[in-house]
Structure 1
Amino acid sequence: MTLREKIGQLNQRMYGWNAYRRTPDGGFQLTEALYAETDRFEGLGALYGLQRADAWSGVDHTNGPGAEDGAALAELVQRHVVERSRLGIPALFVEEVPHGHMALDGTVLPVNLAVGATWDPQLYECAAATAAAELRARGGHVALVSALDIARDPRWGRTEECFGEDPYLAACFTEAVVRGMQGEPGEYFAADKAPVVLKHFAGQAATIGGRNSAESELGLRELHEIHLPAARAGVRAGAAAVMAAYNEVDGMPCAGNRALLTELLRDRWGFEGLVMADGLAVDRLARITGDKVSAGALALNAGVDLSLWDEGFTHLEEAVERGLVAEDALDTAVARVLRLKFRLGLFDRQGPTPPPFPAGGREVSTRVARGAVTLLHNDGGVLPVPAAVFRIAVLGPQSATTAHQSGDYTAPQRPGTGTSVLDGLRRLAPPGVDIRHAPGCALTGDDLSGIPEAVAAAAASDLAVLVLGGSSARTPDTEFDANGAARSAVSHMTCGEGADLAGLRLGRAQYALLDAVTATGTPTAVVVVQGRPHAVPEAADRAGALLTAWYPGPWGGEAIAEVLLGHTDPTGRLSVSVPRSADRLPVYYNHKETEYGGYVDGSAEPLYGFGHGLSYTSFTYGPPRLDGDTVRVDVTNTGQRYGRTVAQLYIRRLRTPVWPRALELRGFRAVGLAPGETRTVVFSRPATDAGTTVEARVAESARAALTAVPTQSFTAPDETPL
């Protein structure tokens, strides 16, 4: 390969939606922009977002590829790339798959924060497999998947992309997404499996103030204990690639951080896959180096193999000539890109026949949404909806819409796609139940004009279901940065990339609606549809029941209705603590075990803690028992109906060389029990540092484990590095 051809393999410069245009007859034609890009380096290393559809790309059902013609578009582009390449090298087609393939007709899954609330990695593995199959059926190759960010400050707009606040839980789901999307480890990927790029590596959620891309103040212990375990789990599971994050670690941005990308990731962990930079992250290094040529050299020498939209990597030939980059370092990066193409079979079958578009996406999405619905409190048996209820008022700005049930990075949906809470209740409620509706107010703003209608509906009903929440939905009038983040939030937008909040309150009118509805005296169940844990202590104080469904995806309304009506038991558990207000942050459970006192003017404790979630029945836990290499605990259903609980194993370090955390999750098991049934739940003895003495605690939540659970102590043997 010539130097120019090698450099071309390391560039992912083009936005994929600029590579094609719809023709009047409904087909596609390639653009001059694609011709220029492939001529520049005699081919194309990778192409980002060929099938991406959203407000930023401007792609919708009028001009973009759907499930029926996405593969044909991919084949058209690939044929052109191969023809332009002297050596016939195909391109990698890289696509966003944060919660399903971000393309027209792609199955939209609940966001990661909802996935984490299921505490069910096996379920998520199935969902990830469906997403990979859809991607490959449309001719895509590589999936960009959010997995590594840990939610430590819910003001951050991208909190919805996190599995939760705990590194162990995030590691379990990261392993699941790698297994689900990539399949069994092997030299080649199956036709319905896709290599995963895990993002973001590392510590991107640790920026100060919850502000996107702000500086971070990460010590090495915090980095290794909290922000690296998920990445370590992904690497061990065989992840094909990771994405270097925007943030810096100890002053050096991740895309230029050799200590992170080479010394840790490759030398210590043995990672042999690809490292991709986040969008325009290489060019940002010019603030350090002084120009984009040396910025590209810094990133390549640090361990980045593939750029994303940057100019810096296009100047690598000059960097080699100036002695900033050794050509053998360039060769190493090129080899990693080519190896991934070989593993996908692109050289063996330069026009491979994609597998059929899989069925069952809606069912999988609904199953995940159902598992994520979390009951936070239920006073006086308000839920499930009693048989004596004949009139239900369905109220609130989230009650009759599906547009705001999905998170950021969601493609436009066809009309009629999805089920709102109102739709779900009307379909599933018993015959004869009168269901009336009034939105009451908008998601944002302080317009109170719709509240009287909602109050009248609530007062005339036996039960009010009040559906509140936020939105990450982008619209064509959203202003975007060059990397696709929202520059300024549109009127309804309260979450997503670029939508960081100083406070955690919902729109002001929603609190007025909540006050007015609960003041009628009608029993009220509040459902919050959200992409971050908003502060709604008023609902905890005044509503008879409170649930969170996060962003449950298009069919989340059906899942919520099933739980409200008691067709299914609420099985979700919090993967992130819910604060009382933004001025009480941080509230994550695994803080250092110092004197964690309150404030003079209020409690420092969360409103609801990590792991919390109620069932329609009740459970008791016996004391944990250390039995050889296992910890055992008896769990009993003490209620009147079947239910599922999640037994959570925590450790508390008693003797340790450094200051310990209050608690650390080290295992969890879901168990379904009939009334009166007892079952013994078995955990492997939790691993810890050699010679460290710990207590093992098993409970339904971190707060319960910390305050009122019998413990079992043990010491890890000095000679066994656990």
Structure 2
Amino acid sequence: MVKPWQDTTLPAHVRAADLLARMTTEEKTAQLSSVWIGADTDGADVAPGQNTYAARSAALDALLPYGLGQLTRPFATVPVEPAEGAARLAELQRTIRAGNRFALPALAHEECLTGFTAWQATVFPTPLAWGATFDPALVTEMAQAIGTSMRAVGIHQGLAPVMDVVRDARWGRTEEAIGEDPYLVGTIGTAYVRGLEAAGIVATLKHFAGYSASRAARNHAPASIGPRELADVILPPFEMALRDGGARSVMPAYNDIDGLPAHAHTWLLTHLLREQWEFTGTVVSDYYGVSLLEEAHRVADGEAGAARLALTAGVDVELPAARCFSPADPLPEELLDRAALRVLTQKCELGLLDPDWEPVTGGAPVDLNPPHMRELAQKVAQESVVLLANDSGALPLSDGLRIGLVGPLAHEQAAMLGCYTFPRHVGIHHPDLPTGVEVPTLAEALRTELPDAVFVDDPAGADVCLAVVGDRSGLFGRGSSGEGCDAEDLELPYGQAELLDEAMACGAPVVIVVLSGRPYALGRWADRATAVVQAFFPGQEGGGAVAGVLSGRVEPSGRLPVAVPRSPGGQPAPYLAPPLGRHGFPSTVDPTPLFPFGHGLSYTEFTWDTPECEAPELPTDGEASIRLTVRNTGERSGTEVVQLYLHDPVGSVARPEARLVGYARVTLDAGASAEVHATFPADLAAYTGADGRRVVEPGALELRVAASSEHVHHTVPLTLTGAEREVGHERRMRCEIRVK
């Protein structure tokens, strides 16, 4: 007889509740647990505390009689052939099912921040490059392809995207974030979530919340932010991705906010997330985040105390391995039932409770790097390259030149790969292992791109010098960018400032190419470089993308998701700062960036007609329609990125000078034009006032139609009328823009 929890015609929460009622305390606890098979206990760690904690975590054999909640990184722990990995995972699932009386499988999760983090899988550009595309539709397509490949080998959950808003680019995980603007992070991150979820993969938003606002940009450091910065800058991207993207999981951050660690933050994980935002998915801990309540934050006395704190706050699953959530230490029954019900409901939604569920059959050939994935990686890389400067038309380069190519990163695959790519995350610990996918260096790509050019190491006597600088990604000090690789300042690492000084003295025109995980201060050479190109770890197809921009085969269309500073010190940059956070009296420090947020050039020219606005007076619950025409007046096709910024002249609290509220890519052939139609809802003018309420206030506003946060083409005055209006989770969070 089919029991209610096995009845696929019943709602998931009903089935999960029936199964929960049949479980023992140990079986419920096991559903909140995870196992990381193959995690190194004494070698090179890939997670904070891995060496310490892995040996003290519950083993699979101990949990088998009760079941298991999650399997951690079956593909991204050690290198494994894709077909073999799928077969191993399937056999492991059979073992787990055979071990517990309900025949429940585990939910398997993986990293997917730059594609599926598995050997031989396509390596996509890092999230900072997604932000540079300003192309949500492309990011959705990329994410769906990534999710489909993961689902095909038996993975259920992806630990991405990162929704942290960059507050100080010295933070090592800047490369993992999408940008420094909450609207850009929210829209691009939501696009990624939609693609992953459309493929049947549970998207996991991280790191909730305040991780990127840590003191001095140090990893895990306390976040010194007030409630308004939290409400108006840090939280909106998460809210958008949950509400509009449908993300089904959230991961708390390692940091504390005003002394309260995120993994023990009841207001954050329950009051806000569950009660106000009505989130019904799962909250999974960051790796060893529950243990860190005891051993780093020191707010818990022992493992059991840490488990109770986290469970009370709203953490449902302990990752990556069960140490604190243990059947040996009984948890409060009411809280245990609450978390286990959420886990079982999600498993039910994934089909893991269905009587006919079977693991993905392994053994058949598996291609994790097929042509369409490589084409997508190439397109994302191409759209993400930013042309920052091009004095006197130094670019594009013509073939047949004598080109001086300097800088070790011109010859390294590392210059293309972010911290969470398999080669830099895991492969680096296996030096004899082939990369698994082709990753041309920039030097190799340039020789293919410009076959008649002569490349020399010594730029003396060259027609042009390409000076290639930037980063090597890594974990916890094994790179200049990446998790735990924070910077004291934004000076180029590895002595590359001296390399640029030497290049500038060679006499040839110098083009600076930056391949990095964060922006670096370039003001020292701004007046001497003839052109500057920026790419943020553009992935396996990045060499060809950058070379294509340099040659002119690829039209540059990327825009800066983070500002490029002028000097290494005056951080953070002033984007989103109120007037007193910008340059001027009474400070001698000028934080004005060299290239502002949203900046990027093209090889063609555009003109923007004066916009027309219907009903410039609108109620505080209304909307305004804006229309403008963009024309390509140059001699080649190109893409302009139309950006809308909101300026609030007078607020009840100090407000940013301007903040992004809409954008659209406009691709035009030479001589062509297009109309851009934008619908601006008054809800986008909402902000958190002195009393903690988010309100839309009546009064004057200004929409800036711009090519960057500082390059404004036109202004559109608006007036909000009527009464002040409080808005909440139901508010409209995006400006709809159509290109005709």
Aligned to 1:77: 92
**1:172-571 equivalence runs, <5 A:** 172-183=187-198, 192-236=199-243, 237-286=245-294, 287-309=298-320, 313-315=324-326, 318-320=329-331, 325=332, 327-348=333-354, 349-353=356-360, 357=367, 359=370, 360-386=372-398, 389-412=400-423, 414=435, 417-429=438-450, 433-438=452-457, 454=458, 458-473=459-474, 486=476, 489-490=477-478, 493-507=479-493, 509-571=495-557
Task: Return the match for 1:649 from 616, 635, 644.
Answer: 644
Q: Distance in 2 between matches of 1:578 and 1:716?
A: 38
Q: CA deviation at 1:634?
A: 2.5
Q: Distance in 1 between matches of 2:177 and 2:228?
A: 21
* Residues 642-696 of structure 1, C-alpha deviations (whole Å, 9 max, x = no match): 2211000011113433222111110001112233433321111143233343211
**Partner of 1:351: helix, strand, or coil?**
coil
Q: CA deviation at 1:509?
A: 3.5
**Partner of 2:343: helix, strand, or coil?**
helix
Q: CA deviation at 1:520?
A: 2.3
Q: CA deviation at 1:500?
A: 0.6
Task: Return the match for 1:702 from 709, 712, 716.
Answer: 709
CA contact (8 A) 1:395 1:465 kept: yes
Q: Distance in 1 between matches of 2:675 and 2:345?
A: 47
Specify whether residues 498 and 419 from structure 1 end up closer, same or farther in structure 2 by C-alpha distance, changes over 3 A only.
Answer: same
Q: Distance in 2 between matches of 1:165 and 1:269?
A: 23
Structure 2: which amino acid aligns with 1:417?
E
Task: Return the match for 1:713 from 718, 727, 732.
Answer: 718
Q: CA deviation at 1:16?
A: 5.1
Q: CA deviation at 1:99?
A: 1.1
Specify whether residues 419 and 632 from structure 1 end up closer, same or farther in structure 2 by C-alpha distance, changes over 3 A only.
Answer: same
**Partner of 2:335: helix, strand, or coil?**
helix
Specify whether residues 426 and 379 from structure 1 end up closer, same or farther in structure 2 by C-alpha distance, changes over 3 A only.
Answer: same
Specify whether residues 504 and 71 from structure 1 end up closer, same or farther in structure 2 by C-alpha distance, changes over 3 A only.
Answer: same
Q: Distance in 2 between matches of 1:617 and 1:434?
A: 24
Aligned to 1:22: none
Specify whether residues 163 and 717 from structure 1 end up closer, same or farther in structure 2 by C-alpha distance, changes over 3 A only.
Answer: farther
Q: CA deviation at 1:437?
A: 4.1
Specify whether residues 510 and 93 from structure 1 end up closer, same or farther in structure 2 by C-alpha distance, changes over 3 A only.
Answer: same
Q: CA deviation at 1:311?
A: 5.6
**Partner of 2:639: helix, strand, or coil?**
strand
CA contact (8 A) 1:15 1:309 kept: no
Structure 2: which amino acid aligns with 1:267?
E
- 2:70 is equivalent to residue 46 of structure 1: yes
**1:615-654 equivalence runs, <5 A:** 615-628=602-615, 629-654=624-649
CA contact (8 A) 1:502 1:582 kept: no
Over the matched positions of the two proteins, sequence identity in percent amounts to: 37
Aligned to 2:666: 671
Specify whether residues 369 and 300 from structure 1 end up closer, same or farther in structure 2 by C-alpha distance, changes over 3 A only.
Answer: same
* Residues 410-439 of structure 1, C-alpha deviations (whole Å, 9 max, x = no match): 21353672112122221122x5x233243x
Aligned to 1:448: none
The root-mean-square deviation of aligned C-alpha atoms, in Å, is 2.4
Specify whether residues 633 and 714 from structure 1 end up closer, same or farther in structure 2 by C-alpha distance, changes over 3 A only.
Answer: farther
Aligned to 1:189: none
CA contact (8 A) 1:14 1:37 kept: no
Structure 1: which amino acid aligns with 2:285?
A
**Partner of 1:685: helix, strand, or coil?**
strand
Structure 1: which amino acid aligns with 2:154?
G
**1:539-618 equivalence runs, <5 A:** 539-594=525-580, 596-598=582-584, 603-618=590-605
- 2:123 is equivalent to residue 108 of structure 1: yes
TM-score of the superposition, structure 1-length normalised? 0.86
Q: Distance in 2 between matches of 1:467 and 1:373?
A: 14
**1:54-93 equivalence runs, <5 A:** 59=78, 64-93=79-108
CA contact (8 A) 1:281 1:310 kept: no
CA contact (8 A) 1:13 1:307 kept: no
Gapped regions of structure 1 (runs ≥ 5): 20-30, 54-58, 184-191, 439-453, 474-484
Gapped regions of structure 2 (runs ≥ 5): 1-22, 42-54, 424-433, 616-623, 687-695, 732-740
* Residues 498-550 of structure 1, C-alpha deviations (whole Å, 9 max, x = no match): 11110111235422222222222222211100001111223422211001011
CA contact (8 A) 1:147 1:230 kept: no
CA contact (8 A) 1:242 1:274 kept: yes
Structure 1 residue ranges, 4+ long, deviating more than 6 angstroms after superposition: none
Aligned to 1:477: none
Q: Distance in 2 between matches of 1:234 and 1:352?
A: 29
CA contact (8 A) 2:58 2:323 kept: no
Aligned to 1:476: none
CA contact (8 A) 1:293 1:316 kept: no
Aligned to 2:29: 7
Structure 2: which amino acid aligns with 1:276?
V
Aligned length: 651
